[in-house]
């Protein structure tokens, strides 16, 4: 995956607070006989999703046929992004997405619309639109076009992505983006309203990262995000859920007290929660693959137990299918110093289910 960023570390503090969760799942070959997470998620009412860019289809048809057997949802990579679909003010290009969507519909797999508004994917032509009214019209046209075009197949739209910045000098902690500069913070409420009008049935989500761990910036992120969520609630914004991106780092220390209080507060504000981009970065973990896989699974279990003690997520999605396709492989900062392949996902490069798969399965079953 492109255009992502590094996430902060995790750990195992306060194990006793979550030890009542599901027991450690089976590992290794034993998992191969279990029903797919697609089937398990459907029974539990928690659709399970995988991420695979639409641009790889149909050249990767065999890979996709395996993927859709495992999941109920698919995130088509970054290809809903504004820059990708509207190269000019009056030009939309959704050819790849249309083809991909038809294939998924045939397989009865829903789409996740990731993401409509993100500061990283502003089209170049939009940067020269200085008039706020014209800027808002352009945003409304884009949202209406995309949400209407895929209405009925999208299960969840990530309408707003990553608007909170722990380094922001603003009192509200909002990131300094072109959207904020042109329209002020109200642009988010307007974007959600436009998406709701275009598709009344899809889940509309605010998606965010970087608030799971025992670092000052994570605490600031939680505080600022809660401020934003309270304001969106007070403005009666059409927000159904908050996406916990869940890019975990298996070598750090999770702030389970902080994460528990944060999750509880999000739920108390009336929002559902979606686990949206789950993986476990293993850059600094041991070389032995079996040990690494189990440590990653244990870390994810601690995290999922903590969040799911407070709420049943509306969806669980991992940020990729097999290890060899992980977005981490594209960046120097996330590669292992020993040169060994990364193993951050629930399936290895040979499509075998790993301990992380078992943890996700157990979490879904326990929620049912």
Per-residue pLDDT, 44:
97
| pTM of the shown model | 0.92
For residue 282, the domain's CATH number is: 3.20.20.80
> What are the pLDDT tens digits along the chain (368 aa)?
333 332 222 222 222 233 334 345 455 678 999 999 999 999 999 999 999 999 999 999 999 999 999 999 999 999 999 999 999 999 999 999 999 999 999 999 999 999 999 999 999 999 999 999 999 999 999 999 999 999 999 999 999 999 999 999 999 999 999 999 999 999 999 999 999 999 999 999 999 999 999 999 999 999 999 999 999 999 999 999 999 999 999 999 999 999 999 999 999 999 999 999 999 999 999 999 999 999 999 999 999 999 999 999 999 999 999 999 999 999 999 999 999 999 999 999 999 999 999 999 999 999 98
Q: Judge whether 321 lies within some domain.
A: yes
Residue 250 lies in a domain: yes
Any domain includes 138: yes
User: Within a domain: residue 51?
Assistant: yes
CA separation, residue 348 to residues 9, 31, 157, 357 (Å): 22, 13, 28, 10
Question: Over the range 247-256, which residues count as b (16 or more CB within 10 Å of their CB) and which as e?
Answer: bbbbbbbbbb
Domain that holds residue 170: 34-367
- Indicate whether 265 belongs to any domain: yes
User: Tell me, what's the pLDDT at 340?
Assistant: 97
1 falls within a domain:
no
Does residue 11 belong to any structural domain of this protein?
Answer: no
- Is position 9 within any domain? no
Please tell me the total count of domains within the chain.
Answer: 1
Nearest CA to 232 among 264, 187, 277, 176? 187
Helix axes 216-234, 187-198, angle to 10 degrees: 60
Neighbouring C-alpha atoms within 13 Å toward the C-beta of 353: 21
d(CA 166, CA 249): 19
């Amino acid at each position: 995956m492109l255009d992502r960023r590094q996430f902060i570390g995790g750990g195992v503090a306060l194990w006793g607070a979550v030890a009542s969760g599901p027991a450690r799942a089976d590992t290794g070959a034993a998992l191969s006989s279990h029903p797919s997470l697609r089937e398990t998620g459907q029974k539990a009412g928690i659709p399970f999703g995988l991420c695979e860019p639409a641009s790889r289809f149909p050249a990767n048809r065999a890979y996709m046929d395996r993927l859709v057997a495992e999941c109920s949802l698919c995130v088509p990579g970054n290809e809903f992004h504004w820059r990708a679909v509207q190269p000019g003010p009056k030009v939309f290009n959704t050819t790849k997405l249309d083809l991909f969507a038809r294939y998924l519909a045939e397989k009865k797999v829903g789409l996740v619309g990731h993401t409509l508004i993100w500061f990283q994917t502003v089209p170049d032509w939009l940067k020269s639109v200085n008039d706020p009214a014209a800027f808002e019209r352009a945003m409304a046209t884009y949202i209406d076009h995309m949400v209407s075009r895929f209405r009925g197949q999208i299960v969840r739209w990530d309408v707003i992505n990553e608007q909170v910045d722990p380094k922001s000098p603003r009192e509200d902690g909002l990131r300094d983006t072109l959207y904020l500069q042109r329209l002020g913070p109200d642009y988010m409420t307007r974007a959600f309203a436009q998406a709701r009008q275009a598709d009344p049935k899809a889940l509309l989500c605010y998606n965010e990262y970087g608030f799971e761990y025992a670092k000052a910036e994570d605490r600031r992120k939680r505080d600022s995000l809660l401020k934003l969520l309270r304001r969106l609630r007070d403005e009666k914004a059409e927000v159904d859920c908050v996406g916990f991106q869940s890019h975990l780092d298996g070598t750090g220390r999770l702030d389970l007290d902080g994460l528990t209080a944060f999750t509880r507060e999000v739920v108390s504000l009336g929002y559902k929660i979606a686990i949206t981009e789950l993986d476990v970065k293993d850059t600094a973990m041991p070389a032995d693959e079996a040990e690494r896989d189990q440590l990653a699974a244990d870390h994810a279990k601690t995290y999922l137990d903590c969040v799911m003690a407070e709420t049943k997520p509306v969806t669980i999605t991992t940020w990729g299918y097999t290890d060899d396709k992980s977005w981490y492989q594209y960046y120097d900062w996330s590669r292992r110093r020993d040169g060994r392949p990364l193993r951050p996902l629930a399936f290895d490069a040979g499509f075998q289910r790993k301990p992380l798969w078992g943890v996700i399965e157990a979490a879904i079953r326990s929620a049912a």
